[in-house]
């Protein structure tokens, strides 16, 4: 297996920082002990092992466990056609990991997405803003303690700036209520 | 009856401005340049989210110097529905309908990619019967033709060639009729199941598909005569939006956008899944990496797809109407729902049915990544399982998301009108980008 060979070369370079490569369903995974070295490891993987493409970065919330976050980097080399997965863990208190945007520019949006969805920051990222949710959104929706049904938020209520022509009528959504459920006409008690 | 109500105005305008502030570039410096000449003030132009050429809800904040773009900031997320969160709260089978809504121009290909990812996790991809393989390949290639037909039609329409759109939509309508006969739905197909397919080909469908293949090839030729040597089209696409091969790899571009830049990477060839390894087809590659190359790559890919479909129809085990009753599902009651007559008569099948419906397939703990060559690029599913019928984490590697991330790099320096050409040639779907 060529992926396993390349993983062993990476392991040989970084020694105890990396775990021995494990294999599941033909995919090789390496675990990095200290997240602070992720950029170096990736740099070496790109420059010396020609993993020139970053397919994806994933974050996992191991809710109730310590460390809470896992970052999963999915590497690919277009030259040799081998995949490699590097995993690293980040504690909840720290919630920060070095950026790999300096290695692959494509990491930019992936890291922004992780910041947006999980709340893990990337030190040195050139433009760490929310990407899918709007700026000023207060929660991190992919965390396991975020409820599936969502939480009411202060969405800028641009749609409710002016009174509707039928304002106050029986089938008209009320503006200004604190969430969308309270704005529904059905929750109002009909007057007789 | 009606009572007067006080409406609380929460100053929406200032809130929106606050949110948009981070997107807006810093104000231009003094209008007098270093050499003392007056330089034009930079203008910020908001494009989208509702703009005909942003194909959905992409918003781009453009900073313009005259007609030249100096900075582009894409703003995505208007179609975010939280698919990954939803996936964590349901069984593997229940998530299949959600995959229709990722790249909604090629739902069949998404269905196949997702089913393959879960099968890889279960370790049953080798058990899939050959008929299932061939039908899945046919589905993927039909999805590719349909997605590229729309992509090309909309691309050409955006830069003024309206006729092509009408031509390609005629053929697309035929594909949808075929898909409707096959799956029961035109758009939201949900055709695959974990370990197989929801149903076999309907009688006479294979012949209808053969007929379609003959017709669509004529249509390709017609569309090509309208575009490939069309002076206006060539002028607006050639040397516009050049992406070098190195940049394309660096930004993680895949699919026709990567191949348009001259990088010969196609998952169907590099890591053949299903029966792609046995089929004879070519992978077109561009040379310059401009919008015109990406157009040419897509045009040729459709022809290759027709070639693949023809080969699959010829080799399909059991033939079009499956007279020899070849299986289409994995013969494992713990993965695929057993036949209804068995469920009502046999104890074991009843238990399997009950367990599959209530708890889902029993996946082993572990993690897999499976990438499939979809019309827009490599659609990858990363599944992290801790055992049981629900993924602990499911990450969708959406090709459109990665493809769009190159916009801030490629747009600056172009004219305003080139944005339309570049966006059209990158051919993205926001349903997949925002998930």
- Which residues of B are less than 8 Å from A52 in CB distance? 249-250
Q: What is the pLDDT of residue A92?
A: 87
Q: What is the pLDDT of residue B145?
A: 93
**Cβ <8 Å between B369 and A109:** no
Sign of the C-alpha dihedral, residues B411, B408, A37, B396? negative
Q: Between β-strands B393-397 and B43-47, what pairing exists: parallel, antiparallel or unpaired?
A: unpaired
| C-alpha R_g of chain A | 23
CA–CA distance, A29 with B392 (Å, rounded to integer): 18
d(CA B183, nearest CA chain A) in Å: 30
B302-325 pLDDT, tens digit each:
999 999 999 999 998 888 788 888
Reduce the DSSP state of residue A27 to 3 states and report it: strand
Best residue in A156, A163, A182 for a mutation probing chain B (most B CBs within 10 Å):
A156
Measured between CB atoms, which of A25, A54, A135 is closest to B19? A135
| pLDDT above 50: residue B15 | no
- Predicted complex ipTM: 0.81
Q: What is the pLDDT of residue B3?
A: 58
**Cβ <8 Å between A78 and B249:** yes
State the DSSP string of A31-80.
Answer: EES-GGGHHHHHHHHHHTT---EEEEEEEEE-TTSSS-EEEEEEEE-TTT
- Which residues of B are less than 8 Å from A135 in CB distance? 18-19, 22
d(CA B241, nearest CA chain A) in Å: 18
B115 touches chain A (CB under 8 A): no
Going by pLDDT thresholds of 50, 70 and 90, the confidence category of residue B31 is low
State the DSSP string of B256-300.
Answer: HHHHHTT----HHHHS--TTGGGS-------SS-SHHHHHHHHHH
Give the rounded percent of residues in chain B with a pLDDT score beyond 90. 32
B54-110 pLDDT, tens digit each:
777 888 988 888 888 888 999 888 888 889 988 888 889 889 999 999 888 889 999
Q: What is the pLDDT of residue B7?
A: 44
A134 touches chain B (CB under 8 A): yes
Best residue in A22, A105, A137 for a mutation probing chain B (most B CBs within 10 Å):
A105
B351-399 pLDDT, tens digit each:
888 888 888 888 899 999 999 999 999 999 999 998 888 899 999 999 9
Q: Say what the pTM is.
A: 0.83
**Cβ <8 Å between B369 and A106:** no
Q: Which of A108-112, B46-50, B112-116 has the lowest mean pLDDT?
A: B46-50
| Total beta-carbon pairs less than 8 A apart between chain A and chain B | 128
């Amino acid at each position: 297996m060529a992926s396993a060979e390349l993983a062993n070369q990476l392991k040989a370079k970084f020694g105890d920082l990396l775990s021995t490569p494990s294999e599941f369903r033909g995919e090789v995974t390496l675990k990095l002990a200290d997240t602070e070295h992720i950029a170096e490891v990736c740099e070496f993987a790109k420059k010396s092992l020609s993993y020139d493409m970053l397919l994806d970065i994933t974050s996992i919330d191991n809710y109730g466990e310590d460390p809470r976050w896992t970052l999963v980097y999915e590497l690919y080399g277009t030259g040799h056609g081998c995949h490699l997965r590097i995993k690293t863990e980040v504690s909840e208190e720290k919630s920060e990991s070095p950026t790999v945007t300096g290695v692959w520019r494509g990491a930019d949006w992936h890291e922004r997405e992780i910041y947006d969805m999980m709340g893990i920051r990337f030190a040195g990222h050139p433009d760490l803003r929310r990407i899918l949710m709007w700026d000023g959104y207060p929660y991190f929706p992919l965390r396991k303690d975020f409820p599936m049904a969502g939480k009411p938020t202060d969405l800028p209520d641009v749609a409710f700036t002016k009174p509707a022509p039928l304002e106050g009528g029986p089938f008209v959504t009320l503006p200004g209520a604190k969430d969308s459920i309270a704005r529904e006409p059905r929750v109002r008690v009909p007057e007789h | 009856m009606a009572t007067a109500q006080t409406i609380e105005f929460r100053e929406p305008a200032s809130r929106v401005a606050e949110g948009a502030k981070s997107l807006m570039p810093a104000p231009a410096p003094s209008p007098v340049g270093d050499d003392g000449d007056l330089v034009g003030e930079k203008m910020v132009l908001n494009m989208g989210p509702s703009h005909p050429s942003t194909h959905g809800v992409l918003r781009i904040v453009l900073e313009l110097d005259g007609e030249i773009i100096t900075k582009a900031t894409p703003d995505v997320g208007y179609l975010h529905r939280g698919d990954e969160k939803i996936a964590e709260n349901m069984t593997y089978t229940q998530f299949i309908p959600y995959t229709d809504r990722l790249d909604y121009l090629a739902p069949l290909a998404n269905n196949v990619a997702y089913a393959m990812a879960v099968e890889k996790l279960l370790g049953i991809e080798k058990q899939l019967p050959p008929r299932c393989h061939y039908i899945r390949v046919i589905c993927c290639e039909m999805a590719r033709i349909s997605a590229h037909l729309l992509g090309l039609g909309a691309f050409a329409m955006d830069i003024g060639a309206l006729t092509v759109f009408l031509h390609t939509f005629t053929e697309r309508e035929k594909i949808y009729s075929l898909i409707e006969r096959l799956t029961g739905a035109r758009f939201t197909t949900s055709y695959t199941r974990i370990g197989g397919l929801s149903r076999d080909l309907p009688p006479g469908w294979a012949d209808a598909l053969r007929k379609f293949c003959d017709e669509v090839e004529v249509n390709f030729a017609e569309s090509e005569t309208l575009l490939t040597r069309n002076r206006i089209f060539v002028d607006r696409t050639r040397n516009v939006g050049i992406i070098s091969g190195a940049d394309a790899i660096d930004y993680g571009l895949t699919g026709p956008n990567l191949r348009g830049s001259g990088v010969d990477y196609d998952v169907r060839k590099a890591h053949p899944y299903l029966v792609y390894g046995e089929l004879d087809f070519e992978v077109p590659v561009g040379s310059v990496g401009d919008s015109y190359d990406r157009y040419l790559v897509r045009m040729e890919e459709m022809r290759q797809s027709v070639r693949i479909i023809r080969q699959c129809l010829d080799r399909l085990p059991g033939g079009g109407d499956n007279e020899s009753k070849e299986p289409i599902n994995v013969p494992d009651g713990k993965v695929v729902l057993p036949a209804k007559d068995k469920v009502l008569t046999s104890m074991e099948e009843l238990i399997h049915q009950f367990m599959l419906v209530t708890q889902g397939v029993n996946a082993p703990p572990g993690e897999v990544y499976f990438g499939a060559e979809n019309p827009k690029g490599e659609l990858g599913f990363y599944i992290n399982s801790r055992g049981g019928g629900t993924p602990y984490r499911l990450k969708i590697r959406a090709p459109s998301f990665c493809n769009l991330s190159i916009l801030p790099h490629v747009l600056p320096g172009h004219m305003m009108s080139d944005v339309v050409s570049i966006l059209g040639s990158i051919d993205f779907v926001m349903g997949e980008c925002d998930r």
